[in-house]
Amino acid sequence: MQNQIKKNKRQPRFVGFFKRLFREKPMGLAGGIILLLALLVAIFADFLAPYGFNEVNMAQVLKPPSFTYLLGTDNLGRDMLSRIIYGARISIIVGICASAMDVIVAVFIGFVSGYFGGKVDLIMQRFVDAIIIFPNLFLYLAVMSVTGPGLTQVIFVLGILSGVGSSRIIRSAVMQTKLNTYIDASRAIGSPHFLVLIRHILPNVMAPIIIIFSIAMGGMIISEASLSFLGLGVPPPAPSWGGMLSGSGRRYMLTAPWMAIWPGLFLSIVVYGVNMLGDAVRDLLDPRLRGGVGGLGEYGVKKAKKALEKKQNMASLNKDK
């Protein structure tokens, strides 16, 4: 009897989620592993990097990759491998913090706008409209020119401005949830709005929140790199992967191509991993993709095959005619 109860006990949600990820989305899992590796490299950069990220050695300038300098050195004799390793830290910090900021802003605007509706919604949405019509990089550049470059500034600017855009997804999810009777019931027994939002709305819009976070991350890392590339992101000598591709990276790209190759390559690999994971998470969580074929993994594949067989049968029947 005791065993029975134990068996039936539901496992924590995220364990089940990871099991599904493992079973149904091997590519997503691979992406997760890439992200985990990048995370570990970022955390243990101090132990992993053979040299300091800003350790200038004028005797070893522009050296091609060798055993002492696995990825070569830059125009100041700094070890590229060490700079890449420390660069992971910047990319990961921006990726996580800016996406978190994005979600916070999106939830705030989306909740207020979607839940209260009416005039509040009408007014707030005009502000949202007014911000999303700016070409993103133009607006980022303009705001960064006022705040000045820096890691914190990049996180806030990217997070807040893209959060405004993502708020529309949260808003529509909130508006749909609001229609349920249990919301009215909760209000009828006297729950204050805040409680309704936290206890009843939030759990129901958790899926889009997680999706926004996981999809935003790759974009944030690329945006930081783009801003640093244009000279308004994380300022040198901090080893931002985007920043390493601009300035000296571009000036010496023909004599020392490794200075431009490595930062972009690692940037692409990490963003690829993040995007693969984000895609898998979305497929597993997005209710719109459920019931169809995309979101159901193994079962979906079987279903698709069956459907495809049916179609082919039909097609062959048609041909026979």
* CA atoms of 35 and 52, how far apart (whole Å): 23
Shortest Å distance, C-beta 73 to other proteins? 18
Give the residue with the Cβ less far from other proteins, 106 or 196: 106
Provide the 10 A C-beta neighbour count for residue 203.
10
DSSP state at residue 303: H
Shortest Å distance, C-beta 71 to other proteins? 15
Q: Which of 222, 209, 208 is nearest to 272 (CA)?
A: 222
Shortest Å distance, C-beta 137 to other proteins? 3
Give the residue with the Cβ less far from other proteins, 107 or 232: 232
Shortest Å distance, C-beta 134 to other proteins? 5
Cβ-in-10-Å burial (0-12, 13-18, 19+) of 150 comes to middle
Give the residue with the Cβ less far from other proteins, 124 or 183: 124
* CA atoms of 81 and 62, how far apart (whole Å): 13
CA angle 110/116/119 to nearest 5° reads: 100
- Quick check: helix, strand or coil at residue 121? helix
* CA atoms of 153 and 296, how far apart (whole Å): 40
Provide the 10 A C-beta neighbour count for residue 8.
7
- Calculate the alpha carbon distances from 282 to 37, 106, 202, 217, 218 in Å: 21, 17, 18, 13, 14
Q: Are 304 and 293 in contact (CB under 8 A)?
A: yes
* CA atoms of 201 and 115, how far apart (whole Å): 9
Shortest Å distance, C-beta 199 to other proteins? 32
Give the residue with the Cβ less far from other proteins, 111 or 241: 241
* Chain positions contacting other proteins, by CB under 8 A: 27, 126-127, 129-139, 141-143, 145-146, 148, 218, 222, 225-226, 229-232, 242, 245, 249-250, 253-254, 257, 260-261, 263-265, 267-268, 271-272, 274-276, 279, 292-294, 300-301, 304-305, 308, 311, 314-315, 318, 321
Give the residue with the Cβ less far from other proteins, 100 or 293: 293
Shortest Å distance, C-beta 136 to other proteins? 5
Give the residue with the Cβ less far from other proteins, 132 or 202: 132
Shortest Å distance, C-beta 37 to other proteins? 15
Give the residue with the Cβ less far from other proteins, 185 or 308: 308
Shortest Å distance, C-beta 47 to other proteins? 28
Give the residue with the Cβ less far from other proteins, 239 or 242: 242
Cβ-in-10-Å burial (0-12, 13-18, 19+) of 13 comes to exposed
SS (H, E, C) 149-168: CCHHHHHHHHHHHHHHHHHH
